[in-house]
Amino acid sequence: MDELKRAYETMGLPENASKEEVDKRYTTLMRQARARQRENPEGTDQADFEEVTRAYRYILDEDNRKANEAFNQQEYGKYKKMAGSAEKVDHFWRYYKFHVLGGIIALILVIVGINSYLDHRAEQERLAKLPPVDLSIMFLGEYYMSDSAGKQTEEADIEEALIKQFPEFKRFKVNFTYVPLDAKDQMDIASQQKAMVVLATERPDIYITDTAAFNWVGPQGAFMNLDSQTAITKLLKPEDSFKQKTEEDQSEHTYGVKISGSPIIGNIPMQAKDNYIASVREGSKNTEKALQFIEKFLETKQ
């Protein structure tokens, strides 16, 4: 069976499905898989959904390949039957003209590759010496890694800043996923696609989202209902409670807590267009620490 046809069948779509239909179907399957996993945590739904994710990625790659073919047709189609030869001649002369430069670049790449490998080994050795992760956090939304002065920062800088604010924890792991909900160009669309894959494969303890991302992910059932968490509800002001309905429960519950007003945020080297909303992932292995994390933000807002 043709692999592309099999990928469409895995997603339950016809081969002529549009890109929008593929994206919509992937989101639906992701929600269904999460719902089944909550009902049966020991089931095989995660493995089944990984197959769906592979099919989704294959279809996206195939779309890119077709786009490249269309480009080549536009470039060399005017040569008609000689298009293939024209393309080969063009490629040959490009290579001949720049073969010396290509050789230099290849050498540089080899050196860079060796250095990257050595750096990777050193990083793995460094990580092996670190304590276990207390909390994993995913920042999801239109956030930017830069400090108040506009200096570019990295995930490690955010992790270090969190440790200073939470000395009771020994280690944070931060996943920073930029996702604009209003896509304006191809880069924004690519960021959205990446975010969908990240949401399907990564399992952080805490999500910190802006309003748009919260409203996007909330109905999918990824967040924990916080209504019964009295330590949080006692500190929570009505305007800081972010409620949502899910596909499985049409009653509104608190799934997110606005932490924007806490001075802790000001000490984290990142910028936001909108709110910081903290949510606990449903089924988190570090639920108690995650709740403790949110409580501290609320306490500092008093």
Confirm if 243 and 211 have CB atoms less than 8 A apart.
Answer: no
Average pLDDT over residues 210-229: 92
**pLDDT band for position 21 (cuts 50, 70, 90):** confident
**Do 108 and 246 lie in a common domain?**
no
**Do 278 and 215 lie in a common domain?**
yes
* Identity of the residue numbered 148: S
Average pLDDT over residues 86-100: 59
**pLDDT band for position 272 (cuts 50, 70, 90):** confident
**Do 112 and 236 lie in a common domain?**
no
**Do 105 and 242 lie in a common domain?**
no
When comparing pLDDT for 49 and 286, which is higher? 286
User: What's the CATH code of the domain at 21?
Assistant: 1.10.287
209 pLDDT above the threshold of 70? yes
* Full domain range(s) for residue 263: 131-301
**Do 120 and 175 lie in a common domain?**
no
pLDDT for 92 equals: 55
94 pLDDT above the threshold of 70? no
Predicted TM-score of the model (pTM):
0.59
**pLDDT band for position 68 (cuts 50, 70, 90):** low
13 pLDDT above the threshold of 70? yes
**Domain endpoint, select from 95, 116, 140:** 95
Paired strand residues for 279: 207
**Do 114 and 194 lie in a common domain?**
no
Confirm if 15 and 59 have CB atoms less than 8 A apart.
Answer: no
Q: Which long-range contacts (CB under 8 A, 24 or more apart) does 102-107 make?
A: none
Percent of the chain with pLDDT over 90: 35
pLDDT for 40 equals: 76
Average pLDDT over residues 82-92: 56
pLDDT for 36 equals: 78
- Measured CA angle at 85 (ends 84, 91), to 5 deg: 95
99 pLDDT above the threshold of 70? no
The count of domains in the chain is 3
pLDDT for 5 equals: 85
**Do 30 and 119 lie in a common domain?**
no
**Do 60 and 88 lie in a common domain?**
yes
pLDDT for 43 equals: 64
At 162 the three-state DSSP class reads helix
158 pLDDT above the threshold of 80? yes
When comparing pLDDT for 233 and 33, which is higher? 233
Residue 134: which residues within 8 A CB-CB, separation 6 or more?
169, 170, 171, 172, 286, 289
Confirm if 154 and 163 have CB atoms less than 8 A apart.
Answer: no
User: What's the CATH code of the domain at 274?
Assistant: 3.40.190
90 pLDDT above the threshold of 70? no
* Identity of the residue numbered 123: E
**Do 235 and 90 lie in a common domain?**
no
Which of 28-32, 80-84, 116-120, 213-217 has the least mean pLDDT? Answer: 80-84
**Do 50 and 105 lie in a common domain?**
no
72 pLDDT above the threshold of 70? no
**pLDDT band for position 256 (cuts 50, 70, 90):** very high
63 pLDDT above the threshold of 90? no
**Do 61 and 103 lie in a common domain?**
no
pLDDT for 47 equals: 66
pLDDT for 196 equals: 85
pLDDT for 57 equals: 87
pLDDT for 77 equals: 55
When comparing pLDDT for 286 and 40, which is higher? 286
**Domain endpoint, select from 81, 111, 126:** 126
**Do 65 and 202 lie in a common domain?**
no
What six digits make up the tokens of 181? Answer: 């909900």
Average pLDDT over residues 147-173: 91
